[in-house]
Structure 1
Amino acid sequence: MAAEARPGGSLEVISVSDMAKVDPFGAGSNYYLDSSRLNAMYDSLFYSEPKTGKALPQTAESLTADATAQVWTLKVKPDIKFTDGTAYDAAAVKWTWDEHKNPDRRSLVAGAAAAIDRTEVVDPLTLKITLKAPNAAFDRVVASSLAFIPSPSAMQKDPNGFAAKPVGAGPFVLSQWDRDSQMVFTKNPNYWQGPDLPKLDKVIFRVLSDSEQSLNSIAAGRGDLKVSVSATDPAKARDRGLGVQQAPVIVGEAIVFNANKPPFDDPRARKAVALALDPNEINKVAFANQGVPSSSLFPAGSPLVAPDAPPLPTADRVEAQRLLDELAAEGKPLNFTYLLPQNNQATRTGEYIATQLRGFKNITVATEAQAIVTYTNSTRVQRNYQAAMMNWLVSDMEPTAYSYLYSSSPSNFLGFKNPQADAALDQGRRTADPAARQAAYTELARQVAQDVPLWPYQEGRITVYYGKTVAGLLLSNDGVVLMDRLGRRA
């Protein structure tokens, strides 16, 4: 947005759910729901440039690789302090990344941190990082999943207190939290960028789960902006005269299958569901033809895969029924619960999908909607689900797609295990050459089409829509709004 933000004032952001946790381990730091609030509290080492996905420094000075891309050097900007007065430095980054790897933390981005073999504080502002294997895109890993650094001393001194009053070095401080209602952030008077930033004196994140109410609130001036993944919100927002920014992302909306639990430990069951459904029909009925139907991990025209990369199986009712009959003949008729995040669009889409599946023989489908905090815990932490609807929205294959799909990754909540896919993910990680990355991810697409660990049906778009008085808005590719520059029009 070109408009300059004036200093002062407040702004209200609408969010579909509250945060489960405010520390970077239990919050969704690579997920659009939590990332803007985390940025407000902690700022970001790096963030993704919206148009290119390139990692740009914020609290970091630089992050550079040696010739092997296995050893990286991080430089932190000088004179940054946490709000408890302690130093934001290389030691704080080391402690945070070590804790992401600590299985007792159950970090939601443990898969990203698992790539780190060891770290060494060279001097107060320099951290040497040795990876387990070369990764030419490690700076993107940091921007996406390892960017938020809390005060180690505050977390260690009073973990319970930190859960209510987090200590970071961000542009804002959490001053009030009414659970499941709102979070109020006030300007950090000692922010490292000086007294002119952040622009705002206060930001309120208000919880409103209904997408129509959210749109109506902002159109009526009772809210200022919302980050959304709904396929129908952009057109509706434009019709109401609101501003819209969008970022295309990988995967989009999909059914994810738990390969560690019956019935989807059998790849025939996963393939039967995929073949029974048609992305074009889902788009027509559930999204009023306002979305972009898909049957691929990658958006159309993505440079990450060859144009002839195979899509996932879809829309073959005869073959779907044959597989269902084959499973039933073996005493395994398909019976499962489809887990949904609790909002009106997800419910409509999920019920339509379930209704389509119920039209086949030898299949029984129930739906269950859970509040988003509970749903995230069920899928990504406890992994207590059979199939689930998921908006999987990432700006690059690194690190999230790698950590969700790699066999031994602690973040692989799908239970997907495929040696050829692992080899393709490793190859894509090792190289910065576009042609080599494309070859690797084309092979990955081939393996995913064969095994169907998930079934995308709607291309991903992260959207932010906003009122006309909002200025200084920058939407990073993974859905984070950079809070230091956000404000009102001058």
Structure 2
Amino acid sequence: MVGGAASILTLSEPRSLDPAALGNAYATTGLLGNALYGTLMTDDESGEVRYSMAESFTSTDGGATFTLKLRPELRFSDGTPLDAEAVKFNWDRIKDPATGSVNLAEASMIASSEIVDGVTLQVTMAAPAPRYAYSLLASTMNWIASPEALRAGKEAFDRSPVGAGPYRLERWTRQATMDLVRNERYWDAPKPYLDRLTLRAVSDGSQRYNTVLSGGADLAVEGNWANIDKARQAGLPTDVMELGGGVFVAMNTRRAPFDDVRARQAVAAALDLEALNLAVYNGVALPARTLFGESSPFYSDTALQTTDSEKAQRLFDELAREGRPVSFTFTSSPGTENRAIAENIQAQLSSYDNVSVKIKIAEIAELISLRTSHDFDATVSSTFFRDPEPRLSPAFSGDTPANVSGIADQQLTQALDEGRSAPTQEDRRDAYDRVQQRLTALTPVIFTARAAPGVISARDVGGVQQYGLGSLLPEELWIQK
């Protein structure tokens, strides 16, 4: 099982190899970050933290402070030490807004850090966060790059990134392939099991599936429920993480028509999510009827959305009589899934009076700009998680980029805060029951389906293991000879 090479299809190509610029999830560049930089820690199927380059990350005061202990003698691929100083440099850099990291919010939860010795970093939090380990392992903070290499500048770093992961960069041909080779200094020998990886970004779902099916690739990172179902039908191995939350339609509560809760409730009541599943996902997506999956300790069988056409029409008519008919533009990316969601919602609402929907297709860069400026009525977004922290709270409280709907509700924010800081699992469960109740009442978003952080592989591929938000661990992969 040791040796050989694998061709892997990913969902997106990085704009830079700087770990601060990568995204640690299945849909972004989790596999690449894990390959080049390794992991401080991961989690298992039950959600328990598992340590790798870190030996421990502990708190004795309810999350007010933490102590990070590294394994001794860790080395970057160039032979220089990966020590507490390197971790502090990387985390401080992610915390600096000038870096432009996607995980600025997570890094900013740290007020300060102090090097105790070569393998120990003492961390003081801005506010107690008992489950901060989950913020680390599901973010770019899990990846430590050489400070010396980062100081050389972006162009130099992209040509020759220096990490302590199982692989190092051999060649990157942008918009084509990235070739990685075994890092002989990797701490966890005999891993990685494969000698080489060739990564290629393929955004088209049909192309990804057909390439693996025909033997043109050994494995594909996947997020498309229809592809996963086709692979299963064809007898190809698949692996899908079960996460809470999911894909949702965000309604902008900052402006009309969705600044009125009745407009949001009307749209939610009007939609048949089973019909949407059939139209968008061929009926094979896992529905997101509840905020948490059934395996979660926070599961509640209270439905987030219930189809009620009479209620929907009554609310549409009521708003129209007040001179506030529900008319909005659904802004979508060109992606097949998002566009199909927009088109199906437009089609379903066309059967009601006093509601009209237009669709605007925006390229990714424009869509990001519109979200940042809050210049949209409705759009597709997502929040998904194994443990609700750190993902759920930013999605629905505070003035954060993740709060796409802009919902601002004191009871909801208080429940989210209590869920984050509560000392016991029972207290957290009570808090998240209230979160789900408020989300159901306020309806800032409509969940359409669970996310599908998955992998499709050839029959001779083994060792598929994901953590966090579907981030694939390349050092575990092997191919049967």
**Local SS of the residue matching 2:217:** coil
CA distance in 2, matches of 1:333, 1:174: 56
**AA partner of residue 162 (structure 2):** V
CA distance in 2, matches of 1:483, 1:376: 32
**Local SS of the residue matching 1:190:** coil
CA distance in 2, matches of 1:466, 1:55: 26
Moved more, 408-417 or 205-214: 408-417
Q: What displacement does 1:305 show?
A: 3.5
Q: Give the TM-score of the pair, scaled to structure 2.
A: 0.91
1:197 aligns to 2:188 (yes or no): no
Which position in structure 2 is the counterpart of 1:133?
127
**Local SS of the residue matching 2:349:** helix
| Stretches of structure 1 lacking an aligned partner (at least 5 in a row) | 1-5
Q: What displacement does 1:327 show?
A: 4.3
The counterpart of 1:285, out of the listed 264, 279, 282, is 279
Contact 1:36 1:483 in 2 (8 A): yes
**AA partner of residue 162 (structure 1):** F
- Show the 5 A alignment for 1:220-299: 220-260=214-254, 262-299=256-293
1:175 aligns to 2:170 (yes or no): yes
Query: Can you list the C-alpha shifts for 1:121-178, whole angstroms capped at 9, x where unaligned?
Result: 1112111111222222112221112212222222222133324543322111233333
**Local SS of the residue matching 1:108:** coil
Which position in structure 1 is the counterpart of 2:15?
20
Q: What displacement does 1:477 show?
A: 4.4
Q: What displacement does 1:187 show?
A: 1.9
The counterpart of 1:465, out of the listed 440, 456, 469, is 456
- Show the 5 A alignment for 1:256-405: 256-260=250-254, 262-300=256-294, 302-307=296-301, 310-329=302-321, 332-369=324-361, 374=365, 377-378=368-369, 385-405=376-396
Larger relative contact order (Cα-Cα within 8 Å, sequence gap ≥ 6): 1
**Local SS of the residue matching 2:29:** helix
Which position in structure 1 is the counterpart of 2:107?
113
Which position in structure 2 is the counterpart of 1:3?
none
**Local SS of the residue matching 1:200:** coil
The counterpart of 2:33, out of the listed 32, 38, 44, is 38
Aligned in 2, Cα 1:312/1:351: closer, same or farther, shift over 3 Å? same
In the alignment of these two chains, the number of paired residues is 480
**Local SS of the residue matching 2:472:** coil
**AA partner of residue 47 (structure 2):** G
CA distance in 1, matches of 2:237, 2:351: 41
CA distance in 1, matches of 2:440, 2:77: 48
CA distance in 1, matches of 2:459, 2:390: 35
**Local SS of the residue matching 1:441:** helix
CA distance in 2, matches of 1:208, 1:160: 24
CA distance in 1, matches of 2:205, 2:39: 28
**AA partner of residue 463 (structure 2):** G
**AA partner of residue 144 (structure 2):** I
Which position in structure 2 is the counterpart of 1:61?
55
Q: What displacement does 1:103 show?
A: 2.3
Q: What displacement does 1:439 show?
A: 0.5
CA distance in 1, matches of 2:113, 2:250: 34
1:80 aligns to 2:68 (yes or no): no
Q: What displacement does 1:79 show?
A: 1.9
CA distance in 2, matches of 1:136, 1:333: 46
**AA partner of residue 323 (structure 1):** L
**Local SS of the residue matching 1:78:** coil
1:214 aligns to 2:208 (yes or no): yes
Contact 1:407 1:418 in 2 (8 A): no
Aligned in 2, Cα 1:315/1:187: closer, same or farther, shift over 3 Å? same
Query: Can you list the C-alpha shifts for 1:360-418, whole angstroms capped at 9, x where unaligned?
Result: 334343334556x6378447766654322234332210111122223154643442322
CA distance in 1, matches of 2:409, 2:95: 23
Aligned in 2, Cα 1:425/1:227: closer, same or farther, shift over 3 Å? same
CA distance in 2, matches of 1:480, 1:266: 38
Q: What displacement does 1:82 show?
A: 2.5
Aligned in 2, Cα 1:338/1:410: closer, same or farther, shift over 3 Å? closer
Query: Can you list the C-alpha shifts for 1:183-208, whole angstroms capped at 9, x where unaligned?
Result: 222222332334x3322222122222
Contact 1:36 1:479 in 2 (8 A): no
Contact 1:393 1:462 in 2 (8 A): no
**AA partner of residue 419 (structure 1):** Q
CA distance in 1, matches of 2:207, 2:286: 24
Q: What displacement does 1:39 show?
A: 0.8
Contact 2:9 2:220 in 1 (8 A): yes
CA distance in 2, matches of 1:330, 1:24: 52
1:450 aligns to 2:419 (yes or no): no
Q: Give the TM-score of the pair, scaled to structure 1.
A: 0.89
Q: What displacement does 1:464 show?
A: 1.4
1:90 aligns to 2:84 (yes or no): yes
| Stretches of structure 2 lacking an aligned partner (at least 5 in a row) | none
1:153 aligns to 2:148 (yes or no): yes
CA distance in 1, matches of 2:169, 2:259: 43
CA distance in 2, matches of 1:467, 1:477: 23
Aligned in 2, Cα 1:60/1:261: closer, same or farther, shift over 3 Å? farther
Q: What displacement does 1:95 show?
A: 2.3
CA distance in 2, matches of 1:381, 1:169: 35
1:420 aligns to 2:414 (yes or no): no
CA distance in 1, matches of 2:469, 2:370: 20
- RMSD of the alignment, in Å? 2.6
CA distance in 2, matches of 1:465, 1:113: 33
**AA partner of residue 270 (structure 2):** A
**Local SS of the residue matching 2:24:** coil
**Local SS of the residue matching 1:271:** helix
CA distance in 2, matches of 1:68, 1:14: 42
**Local SS of the residue matching 1:227:** strand
Contact 1:272 1:321 in 2 (8 A): yes
